Structure 1
Amino acid sequence: MKLLVTSAIKLSNEQIAQLSKKNELIFVENEKAISLDAIELEAIEGIVCNFFFVNNSLDIFPNLRFVQLTSVGTERVSVKELQRRNIRFYNIRTAYAIPMAEFALAELLNIYKNARFFISNQERKHWVKNREILEIAGKKALILGYGTVGRSIAQRLKAFDVEVIGMSRSKKYDEYCDGFITKESLDDIIPEIDIFILCLPKTDATYHIIDDKRLERMKDTATIINVARGSLIDEKRLIDLIDGGKFLGVALDVFEEEPLSESSKLWEYDNVYITPHNSFVSETINQRIFEELMENLEEE
């Protein structure tokens, strides 16, 4: 297969050699600012990318039959067009599950153990105890989106004796979950939940799934962690409620607009943890992505 490999994947020399055994590789350095003038577009049969189709149309590749995204989300390419043309299409299914789950748990513990208090005092060389440290044991968590990332989070929460509920269209049982709900039951369970962890993809159906009414129904002591997509939460209403003293803590790795504007009030709160869409990163993800790519290519 003649495979266009963009900067979305970082390959070692050994991986390049392995990938080249059955494929002719064409490399492009920057998929966001790419020039295709030197590429014979009609010859391209496969593409490995992330943002590539934000600026490039599928139509310019008449013989395309394979697309591998390096992201979990699929909103940057027309899935309907891929399906219409019978192009084999893959997103990342498992590579990010472990680092994202660990990240979500770390943020949860940062909030419950008031990490910011101690970091601030360390910077000022202040020896001050905090008597308001909380346990996550016995708390009730709702994971919205129970794919590989959601399940990996549930596995870690169970080790901390957290009661875990998953929201899924199809799941009815899992060893790491105490029960499942569908989206239709979400409003009923919200007042019972201590910890909300968002793992849903960006779609029309999930836009502002955590809207003003659902935010208002949450406990004043609730915690929200979003490692999925910023579009899941009504950010403006979230800010209003934080201003009013609601929420034990909020950890946001994703936002409605990225990068987050310096003018956003979200930067200002002591109980809000901001990270720059970083939860997926680890020293092993490139190898895992490569393994998924090779497995998918074997099916061709």
Structure 2
Amino acid sequence: DSKVDKLQRGDELPPGVMKMVKVFVATKRKLQPGDKMAGRHGNKGVISRIMPLEDMPYLEEGVPVDIVLNPLGVPSRMNVGQILETHLGWAAAGLGKKIGDMVNGAREASMTQVRKTLREIYGEKSFKADIADLDDEQTLELARNLSKGVPFASPVFDGAHEPDIVDMLEMAGLDKSGQVTLVDGRTGEAFDRKVTVGYIYMLKLHHLVDDKIHARSIGPYSLVTQQPLGGKAQFGGQRFGEMEVWALEAYGAAYTLQEILTVKSDDVAGRTKVYEAIVRGDDTFEAGIPESFNVLVKELRSLGLNVELNQSAT
């Protein structure tokens, strides 16, 4: 009864609020440089450039590719599944085209050839079980459905092996390497060597550059360390980590480093001093003691160690 009562009452509203209205606005966002995409093998990446269709590399038949992926993304992560998927997709499309060419000129005499090709693709067992009993009209309809590409399933640990894919590629009349000659869309000249081309699933990930863009000048600071908060949601600053500090040390950029570690971070007095100096048009300022040092001193005192900072001139 209490659950039903709660459902009927609805959410607890703030005092003085009679009714709350929530509005969701859906927007379409076109892909742009900086957006993230991924395949099905952990092969994620960021779009670096979007080119006009006529500038994209194209096959010798004139068909342009949709996406160009860097091959350096394969050896380091060792996710070779993406190459397997590319080759399988290429074979599937090639076989579909082969069937489509037959169907487009299909007459009574060529139905025998269509059935023969389907038998080669599906194997004797599957052909007898699913296709052999179909009449000419049904076989033709099946062939038309396959003309865009023959569907493949490659289960984990029990999927296609390299020889299987090579057989499929050869059956489709394609190079068994899975590579083709690509032509540079900008120059019209063929690339130096053949390139692997195929069909794979690519998905748009929910990491869009429009949601990530962020800048801050003065904003909220942590109460304990007096350093700027982190993250876009908190209107935070960019973290300058250990390795970045080492980089500035290596360059000998002493003033830049001091600025980042003090007045741009947790030197409370220095923050106001540098602001006043900038307003005056002066470029001299003195960095004080970062608040993080005081936090360290307090933590040492909590361990029973009395640490005092001697600020005398000597």
TM-score normalised per structure 2: 0.22
Counting strand residues as a fraction of each chain, which structure ranks higher?
1
